[in-house]
Amino acid sequence: MLDKNGIAKRIAKEVKDGMYVNLGIGIPTLVANYIPEGINVVLQSENGLLGMGPFPFEGEEDADLINAGKQTITTLAGSSIFDSAMSFGMIRAQKVDLTILGAMEVSENGDIANWKIPGKMVKGMGGAMDLVASAQNIIVAMQHVNKAGESKLLPNCTLPLTGVHCVKKIVTELAVLAVLENGGFQLLERAPGVSVAEIQAATAGKLLIEGDIPEMQL
Amino acid sequence: MLDKNGIAKRIAKEVKDGMYVNLGIGIPTLVANYIPEGINVVLQSENGLLGMGPFPFEGEEDADLINAGKQTITTLAGSSIFDSAMSFGMIRAQKVDLTILGAMEVSENGDIANWKIPGKMVKGMGGAMDLVASAQNIIVAMQHVNKAGESKLLPNCTLPLTGVHCVKKIVTELAVLAVLENGGFQLLERAPGVSVAEIQAATAGKLLIEGDIPEMQL
Amino acid sequence: MINKVVKDADTAIKDIQNGQTIMLGGFGLCGIPENCIQALLRKKVTDLTCISNNAGVDDFGIGLLLQQRQVKKMISSYVGENAEFERQLLSGELEVELIPQGTLATRCMAAGYGMPVIYTPAGVGTEVAIGKETRVFNRKEYLMEYAFDAEFAIVKAWKGDTAGNLIYKSTARNFNPVMAMAGKITIAEVEILVPAGELDPDQIHTPGIYVHRIFQGGNYEKRIEQRTVRIK
Amino acid sequence: MINKVVKDADTAIKDIQNGQTIMLGGFGLCGIPENCIQALLRKKVTDLTCISNNAGVDDFGIGLLLQQRQVKKMISSYVGENAEFERQLLSGELEVELIPQGTLATRCMAAGYGMPVIYTPAGVGTEVAIGKETRVFNRKEYLMEYAFDAEFAIVKAWKGDTAGNLIYKSTARNFNPVMAMAGKITIAEVEILVPAGELDPDQIHTPGIYVHRIFQGGNYEKRIEQRTVRIK
Strands (DSSP E) contained in A119-206 are 138-141, 153-154, 169-171, 175-179, 185-190
Q: At what angle do helices B84-92 and D101-112 cross, to 10 degrees?
A: 110
Q: Is residue A134 less than 8 Å (CB to CB) from chain D?
A: yes
Closest chain C residue by Cα to residue B52: C1
Tell me, yes or no, if A25 comes closer than 8 A to chain C by beta carbon.
no
Instruction: Give one DSSP letter per residue of A153-166, joined into a string.
Output: EESS--SPPSBSS-
Residue B163 has pLDDT above 80, yes or no: yes
pLDDT digits (tens, 9 = 90+) for D121-163: 999 999 999 999 999 999 999 999 999 999 999 999 999 999 9
Q: Is residue A30 within 8 Å of residue C186, measured between CB atoms? A: no
The confidence band for B188, taking pLDDT boundaries of 50, 70 and 90, is very high
B93/C161 CB distance under 8 A: no
Tell me: pLDDT of B121 over 90: no
Identify the closest residue of chain D to C147 by CA–CA distance: D137
- Strands B138-141 and B49-52, bridge-based pairing: unpaired
- Are B47 and D27 inside 8 Å of each other by CB? yes
In the predicted model, is pLDDT for residue C232 greater than 90?
A: no
What confidence tier does D203 reach under pLDDT thresholds 50, 70, 90? very high
Using the Cβ of B92 and the Cβ atoms of chain C, whether some distance falls under 8 Å is answered with yes
pLDDT at position A122: 79
Length of chain A: 218
Contact call for residues B114 and B123 (beta carbons, < 8 A): no
Count B/C contacts: CB-CB distance under 8 Å. 77
Q: How much is the ipTM here?
A: 0.97
Helices C101-112 and A84-92, axial angle in degrees (round to 10): 110
Q: Are C155 and C186 in contact (CB under 8 A)?
A: yes
| Band of residue B78 on the pLDDT scale cut at 50, 70, 90 | very high
**Residue C25 and residue C179: Cα distance in Å, rounded?**
6
| Res C89: pLDDT | 85
Classify burial at C19, counting beta carbons within 10 Å of its beta carbon; exposed 0-12, middle 13-18, buried 19 or more. Answer: exposed
Per residue in C115-159, pLDDT (tens digit) is: 999 999 999 999 999 999 999 999 999 999 999 999 999 999 999
pLDDT at B47: 97
The per-residue pLDDT for A190 is 97
Q: Which residues of A are catalytic?
A: 46
* Interchain contact, D162 vs A78, CB within 8 Å: yes
User: In chain B, where are the structural domains located?
Assistant: 4-174
CA within 13 Å, CB half, A204: 16
Tell me which amino acid residue A157 is. Answer: C
* E strand or H helix at D158: strand D150-161
Position C86 confidence tier, pLDDT thresholds 50, 70, 90:
confident
Q: Indicate if the pLDDT at residue D226 is higher than 80.
A: yes
Pairwise pLDDT comparison (B151 vs D92), residue with the higher score: B151
- List, for chain A, all residue ranges whose pLDDT scores fall below the cut of 70: 121
Distance of residue B87 Cα from the nearest chain C Cα, in angstroms: 9
pLDDT of residue D87: 85
Please indicate if any CB of chain D lies within 8 Å of the CB of A18: yes
The DSSP H or E segment spanning D111 is helix D101-112
Contact B115, B154 (CB under 8 A): no
Inspect the interface and report whether the beta carbons of D181 and A44 lie closer than 8 Å. no
Tell which residue, D78, D70, D80, has the closest CA to residue D52. Answer: D78
Task: Give the whole-angstrom CA distance, residue D150 versus residue D179.
Answer: 9
Considering only CA atoms, which of A64, C203, B48 is closest in space to residue D205? C203
Is C182's Cβ below 8 Å from some Cβ in A?
no
Distance (Å, rounded) from C-alpha C88 to C-alpha C82?
Answer: 10
What is the 3-state secondary structure of D126-149?
A: CHHHCCCCEEEECCEEEEEEECCC
Q: What is residue B122's predicted lDDT score, i.e. its pLDDT?
A: 79
Query: What stretch of H or E contains D36?
Result: helix D34-43
Model confidence pLDDT, tens digit, residues D69-123: 999 999 999 997 788 888 898 888 999 999 999 999 999 999 999 999 999 999 9
Residue type, C82: N
Tell me which chain C residue has its CA closest to the CA of residue B89: C113
Task: Tell whether B30 lies on the interface with D, counting CB pairs under 8 A.
Answer: no
Physical contact, B and A (3 or more Cβ pairs within 8 A): no
Is pLDDT at C28 greater than 90 in this prediction? Answer: yes
Distance from CA of C231 to the nearest CA of B (A): 41
Q: Which residues of C touch A129 (CB under 8 A)?
A: 100, 102-103, 122-123, 126, 128
Look at residue A127 and give its three-state secondary structure. Answer: coil
Q: Do D126 and B49 touch (CB under 8 A)?
A: no
Contact yes or no for B170/B199 (Cβ under 8 A): no
Q: Would you place residue C228 in the very low, low, confident or very high pLDDT band (cuts 50, 70, 90)?
A: very high
Rounded to the nearest angstrom, the gap between the alpha carbon of residue A14 and the centroid of all alpha carbons in its chain is 11
Query: Residue C176 has what pLDDT?
Result: 98
Q: Answer yes or no: pTM beyond 0.80.
A: yes
Instruction: Looking at the complex, report in whole angstroms how far the Cα of residue C80 sits from the nearest Cα belonging to chain B.
Output: 33
Contacts of C161 in chain B (CB under 8 A): 78
pLDDT for residue B183 is more than 90 = yes
Cα distance between residue D66 and residue D224, in whole Å: 20
Subunits adjacent to chain B (3 or more Cβ pairs under 8 Å)? C, D
Is D1 close to A80, i.e. CB distance below 8 A? no
Burial of D43 (0-12, 13-18, 19+ CB in 10 A): middle
| Chains in contact with D via at least 3 Cβ–Cβ pairs below 8 Å | A, B, C
Whether the pLDDT of residue C195 is over 90: the answer is yes
CB atoms near residue C95 (< 10 Å):
13
Task: State percent of chain B over pLDDT 70.
Answer: 100
Q: What is the CATH number of domain A4-174?
A: 3.40.1080.10
Cβ-Cβ contacts under 8 Å between B and D: the total is 180
Using a CB–CB cutoff of 8 Å, tell me whether A14 touches chain C.
Answer: no
Nearest partner of D13 among D165, D183, D172, D158, judged by Cα: D183
Partner D contacted by A20 (CB < 8 A):
yes
Does D108 contact B at CB distance below 8 Å? yes
Give the burial class of C44: count Cβ atoms within 10 A of its Cβ; 0-12 exposed, 13-18 middle, 19 or more buried: exposed
| Partners of residue D51 on adjacent β-strands | D23, D75
Residue C106 to residue C126: CA distance in whole angstroms: 19
Pairing of strands A153-154, A138-141: unpaired
- Angle (CA) D114 A13 A176, round 5°: 90
Q: Would the CB atoms of C1 and B77 count as touching at under 8 Å?
A: yes
Select the residue of A40, A91, A94 nearest D2 (Cβ to Cβ): A40
- Neighboring chain D residues of C118 at a CB cutoff of 8 Å: 115, 118
For residue C201, the chain D residues in CB contact (below 8 A) are 170
- Across A104-117, b (16+ Cβ under 10 Å) vs e yields bbbbbbbbbbbbbe
Q: What is the CA radius of gyration of chain B?
A: 17
CB within 8 Å: D30 and B87: no
The helix/strand/coil state of C156 is strand
Q: Which residues of B are catalytic?
A: 46
Rounded CA separation B51/B42 (Å): 5
Residues of C with CB below 8 A from D106's CB? 113, 115
